Amino acid sequence: MKQARWKCPTCGHGLLAPTRPRRNDVRRYCLPCSSKAGVLVERVAPALDAQRAARDVARRERDRKTRERDRARKERASNAPREVAKRRYSKEGEHGMSIDRETARLWKLLAKMPTTLEGATRTISRVTHRDPPKVVLHKKGWRVEDDGQVWIRGHLGTAWQSGLIQVKPCVSWETLAHEIIHCAGYRGHDRAFYWALKWLTERRFGIIVDFSQVTRYGYAVDWMIEDQINDIVRAEFAKPTEPEPE
């Protein structure tokens, strides 16, 4: 059995005893000092105490290193290009457009759309009494290079009946507006859909969108609108940049 030197803290008398004496082991106590004091005087084992203290120090140091490693790992993960892009593009679209602010604004505008629009051929179905759609970033369909360049594949946005819109990084105003029209109850890419989009675009930027070249309704109309408002959208959202120092 491992032994340690136990010492009375009062008289200093010591002896060898097991490192873990039983509770009622008489060697735990200095009997002369106990009978003098009237209470049990316990012997101490300085070597054991020192060992325990050293163990505590080592354990605290180990814990500290583990915490530090975890923190560094978390920080690395949150700084990974994809995480940085995720944070940014959940809030911000093309040209720095604020996604939430623009969504709320367009949704509010839609409430003012007349129920019949010239050219729409059917009554407009507004679903604007609900909250504005919630816009979130698609989990898949895009990736980020180490240098921060974002690659996107597949369709740019998805609108759900529940009022959820999923977009990919750097969503354009056109795509956002397109999905918002879907959320307002226009499911197909038909004439009514595009006349609602035309109305919303005109209202938002105070312009006239020319549909005189439209022959059939589909994505080509989105590109046609995009061509007509590209510069206006850029001017609307582009943040003023600090002039370069000479």
Q: Which stretch binds Zn ion (CB under 5 A): 30-38, 77-85, 132-140, 143-151?
A: 30-38
**Residue 30, interface with Zn ion (CB under 5 A)?**
yes
Size of the site for Zn ion (CB under 5 A): 6
Q: Which stretch binds Zn ion (CB under 5 A): 33-41, 76-84, 137-145, 160-168?
A: 33-41
> Which position among 6, 17, 29, 33 is part of the footprint of Zn ion (CB under 5 A)?
33
**Residue 11, interface with Zn ion (CB under 5 A)?**
yes
**Residue 200, interface with Zn ion (CB under 5 A)?**
no
- The least distance separating Zn ion from the CB of residue 156, rounded to whole angstroms, comes to 9
Pick the closer one to Zn ion by CB: 27 or 82: 27
- The least distance separating Zn ion from the CB of residue 88, rounded to whole angstroms, comes to 25
**Residue 177, interface with Zn ion (CB under 5 A)?**
no
Pick the closer one to Zn ion by CB: 151 or 219: 219
- The least distance separating Zn ion from the CB of residue 190, rounded to whole angstroms, comes to 11
> Which position among 4, 5, 7, 10 is part of the footprint of Zn ion (CB under 5 A)?
10
- The least distance separating Zn ion from the CB of residue 37, rounded to whole angstroms, comes to 9
Pick the closer one to Zn ion by CB: 85 or 165: 165
Report the residue count for the chain: 246
- Mark 97-110 as b/e (b = at least 16 C-beta within 10 Å): bebeebbeebbebb
**Residue 111, interface with Zn ion (CB under 5 A)?**
no
- Mark 67-85 as b/e (b = at least 16 C-beta within 10 Å): eeeeeeeeeeeeeeeeeeb
Q: Which stretch binds Zn ion (CB under 5 A): 25-33, 128-136, 161-169, 222-230?
A: 25-33
99-110 and 191-205 helices, crossing angle to 10°: 110
Q: Which stretch binds Zn ion (CB under 5 A): 31-39, 62-70, 166-174, 203-211?
A: 31-39
d(CA 201, CA 197): 6
List of residues contacting Zn ion (CB under 5 A): 8, 10-11, 13, 30, 33
